Amino acid sequence: EAGVAQSPRYKIIEKRQSVAFWCNPISGHATLYWYQQILGQGPKLLIQFQNNGVVDDSQLPKDRFSAERLKGVDSTLKIQPAKLEDSAVYLCASSLVTGQKGHEQYFGPGTRLTVT
Amino acid sequence: AQSVTQPDIHITVSEGASLELRCNYSYGATPYLFWYVQSPGQGLQLLLKYFSGDTLVQGIKGFEAEFKRSQSSFNLRKPSVHWSDAAEYFCAVGGGYNKLIFGAGTRLAVHP
């Protein structure tokens, strides 16, 4: 079974530029998550989708971050414009939608973003 | 509010020694608890999980964890550490809508 795929793996941009990350979850996983992991910290949830609907985006900085999951499968996270403090690893995860299994999240390798 | 505390930022052990990583949580109801491991440049891999029942749970790679409700703890243990266990370890508690709240992590170094 293929895991969660993410691209690119690394990205370096200047502040005020825009950037987009892509995630393809495990087949059959209805729930998709985007996390931000700043160096030295644990992952922090940015946004959670169930199918193509948003379940939780309370910690997403909506003035500069956006995310979509149009067909309920893969997803894109965008930052525009980027700030220095956005330098982090962006992790995508997926899980089944129901019951206890819904808490078992499977993570992709992440995208390491450096904003200069 | 739900939260997870991992008191130890860095731990160094010798290869073959036993290991215990501490995790304390704050959650109003019976928690779902998890341990994940992250190797350099990699995503997080699930080591083990607790939902209910037996408070001692076994995971992959020889790890186990014990849920202690009275202490609000879910400590991770391994009887004999291997050099390949060097990584960062994250404890997490499950919240509403399948949300996970992570601790800040413990970085494990293994001396030969």
Whether A92 contacts A73, CB under 8 Å: no
Residues from chain B contacting residue A105 (CB–CB below 8 Å): 46, 98, 100
* Distance to chain B for A101, nearest Cα, Å: 9
Quote the CA–CA distance of B6 and B22 in Å, as a whole number: 6
Interface of A with B in 14-43 (CB under 8 A): 31, 40-43
Neighbours of A56 (CB within 10 A): 18
* Inter-chain CB proximity A105 and B46 less than 8 Å: yes
pLDDT at B105: 97
Q: Which of A69, A39, A68, A45 is nearest to B95 (CA)?
A: A45
Reading chain A (116 residues) residue by residue, the pLDDT tens digits are 689 999 999 999 999 999 999 999 999 999 999 999 999 899 999 999 998 899 999 999 999 999 999 888 999 999 999 999 999 999 999 998 766 666 789 999 999 999 99
* Distance to chain B for A16, nearest Cα, Å: 26
Residues from chain A contacting residue B92 (CB–CB below 8 Å): 42
Quote the CA–CA distance of B52 and B35 in Å, as a whole number: 15
Amino acid A108 reads G
Quote the CA–CA distance of B12 and A110 in Å, as a whole number: 26
Q: How confident is the model at residue B99 (pLDDT cuts 50, 70, 90)?
A: confident
* Inter-chain CB proximity B44 and A107 less than 8 Å: yes
Per-residue 3-state assignment (H helix, E strand, C coil) for chain A? CCCCEEECCEEEECCCCCEEEEEECCCCCCEEEEEEECCCCCCEEEEEEECCEEEECCCCCCCCEEEECCCCCCEEEEECCCCHHHCEEEEEEEECCCCHHHHCCEECCCEEEEEC
* Inter-chain CB proximity B98 and A48 less than 8 Å: yes
Whether A83 contacts A21, CB under 8 Å: no
| B96 three-state secondary structure | helix
Quote the CA–CA distance of B82 and A101 in Å, as a whole number: 30
* Inter-chain CB proximity A103 and B98 less than 8 Å: yes
- Is B44 an 8 Å CB contact of chain A? yes
Residue with tokens 């499950």: B94
